[in-house]
Chain A
Amino acid sequence: MTAGPLVSLVAVLLLAPALPGVATKTKSLLTGRHGAPVLQLHRDLLRLLRKGAVYSTTTTWMFRLAPVAGVVTPLLAGILLPLDGRGAVLQFSGDFVAFAALLALGRFTLILAALDTGSSFEGMGASRDAAFASLVEPALFLCFVVLILATGQLSLSGMLGAAPAPSLAMVAVSLFFVLLAEASRMPVDDPATHLELTMIHEVAVLDHSGPDLALLLYGGALRMALFAALPVSVLVSRARLAVPLALAALLAGMVMVAVVVGIIESSMARLRLGRVPQFLVAASVLASLGVILQLLT
């Protein structure tokens, strides 16, 4: 294992909490406010780690497992991504399936933990979360199909180095929609809402406190970082850049993606709940278009 991939992974792990901060800062600036500092989430995490946790009497071991799974699964998924532009820390043929499976597992444990609390709000949010997740999976896999067709490689490390093409532009946009869904940002979910009836992902973390909450928040930020790394890697072919330059390009790209997320958050309201499936199907449609285009050329 060379140093490059490991260093890149550590860099992303450290940067991840800044991404939600960048998004929120962009949104604040665009709406005429100063907003919280970009590194606010880092500070929140450190604060939460020092606190104690409160557990409801209805919860079981599932509730305590979820935060741990919520960090471990994105971490393992991150090991599979070629963050330095060359290769991942661990790569094998078909690792994109493991990537999607790990992230789905993390989401699954979180949903179970929400159901574990026995409260109706959490159950409602969890069911919505599950429904949207199932609609987003096809989009993600269709994007992978396009990449496989474009590069002929079955490993993430090979797939994400393709030359730019119109079909890949569609894939990048589709992956961006997937990011919005997986990271629970607008217009799929409003991260700033405090009304339980309108929450989708937020309500799942409602009951956790202290270090558990810290782990969940960090896991969420890490997921966002990974999903942001995907479209950046698709759009910008970094195979020929020197490792530090490739890493810098990736981090800059991720920050840009967070800025775009912030712009979208400041300009759109959350979609009506019935319209969200339409949005997610649009992501699949874009990816399918990418498949057709790739087959045409």
Chain B
Amino acid sequence: MQHLADLVLLLVLLTSFLILGTTRLTTCIRAVAVQGGLLGVLPLVLEPQWSAHTLGLATGTILVKAIVLPWFLTWAIREAAVRREVEPRVGYIASLILGVVAVAVASAVATRLPVPGDHPILLLATSLSCVIMGLLVLATRGKALIQVVGYLMLENGIYVFGLTSVDRVPFLVEVGVLLDVFVGVFIMGIVVFHINREFDSLDSARLTELKD
């Protein structure tokens, strides 16, 4: 089980790097969908015996993160008819290298903090890496949809960490987290739709009218 969990976490990290390094919007969305699916599998792999709670959580996560949200984002892309990203403020190669730095920092922090339960240390490192990489994508990318993908990555990182307290923090809050992601992305998607209509592009670098 330990190796399986490590493998899943590794794949989560790899999908994050894929999002950091790819130019195509559809690849980003597919990568975040795969990440969502992996996250759904993760609780099943971490717990040796599966309770109804774990199964419910896994199903809910896969449903929301791997199916509904990516579908919704793909719909938004189709509406906006965007394909490619322009070179972001921080270039792709620099983004990849920053991603490695993020993983290094996250791992360094993870070795300092005692991991709750007997979960692998890779769990903490992965969660913090995803958080940092999600923030990186949010901060450096121009297209609004990619920023939403970055936000999803951030939430995924938080979710991975939340799995360490699955037995302690009750069901209500996990549903709350999923709901948060769902509604947040939904609202963002609607706004993105409007942005595309208003500005004829999804380049949030164009959103510069309001300033001091």
Contact = CB atoms under 8 A, between A and B. Distances in A.
Contacts of B35: none
Contact of B96 (A169, A278, A296, A297): A278
A296 B10 contact: no
Contacts of A297: 121-122
Given A282-B96, A285-B17, A285-B100, A296 B23 contact: no
B104 to A, nearest CB: 6
Interface in A262-284: 275, 277-278, 281-282
A295 B6 CA distance: 14
Contacts of B10: 166, 169-170, 293
Contacts of A285: 17, 21, 96-97, 99-100
B111 A296 contact: yes
B147 interface: no
Interface in B82-122: 92-93, 96-97, 99-100, 103-104, 107, 110-111, 121-122
Q: Which bucket holds chain B's interface residue count?
A: 20 to 34
Given A166-B7, A278-B92, A282-B96, A295 B17 contact: no
Contact of A293 (B3, B96, B99, B122): B122
B13 interface: yes
A275 B17 CA distance: 15
A281 B95 CA distance: 10
Contacts of B104: 288, 292
B128 interface: no
Contacts of A30: none
B107 A296 contact: yes
A17 B186 CA distance: 56
A84 B96 CA distance: 37
Given A282-B21, A285-B100, A289-B13, A277 B107 contact: no
A296 B99 contact: no
B107 A295 contact: yes
Contacts of B92: 278
A163 to B, nearest CB: 12
Interface string B1-37: 0010011001001100100010100000000000000
A292 B21 contact: no
Contacts of B14: 289
Given A278-B93, A282-B17, A285-B97, A292 B23 contact: no
Contacts of B99: 285
B100 to A, nearest CB: 5
B111 A281 contact: no
Nearest to B23: A275
A292 B93 CA distance: 19
Contacts of B125: 292, 296
A283 B13 CA distance: 14
A281 B96 contact: yes
Contacts of B21: 278, 282, 285
A3 B23 CA distance: 51
A83 B111 CA distance: 38
Nearest to A278: B92
Nearest to A167: B10
Nearest to A277: B93
Interface in A165-195: 166, 169-170
Nearest to A275: B23
A166 to B, nearest CB: 5
Nearest to A280: B93
Contacts of A293: 10, 122
A277 to B, nearest CB: 6
A41 B111 CA distance: 52
Nearest to A279: B21
A288 B93 contact: no
Nearest to B13: A289
B141 to A, nearest CB: 15
Interface of B: 3, 6-7, 10, 13-14, 17, 21, 23, 92-93, 96-97, 99-100, 103-104, 107, 110-111, 121-122, 125
14 contacts: A166-B6, A169-B10, A281-B93, A281-B97, A282-B17, A285-B17, A285-B21, A285-B100, A289-B100, A289-B103, A292-B100, A295-B107, A296-B122, A297-B121
Q: Name the 9 nearest CB pairs between A and B, nearest first.
A: A288-B100, A281-B93, A285-B96, A166-B6, A278-B92, A292-B107, A281-B96, A166-B10, A296-B107
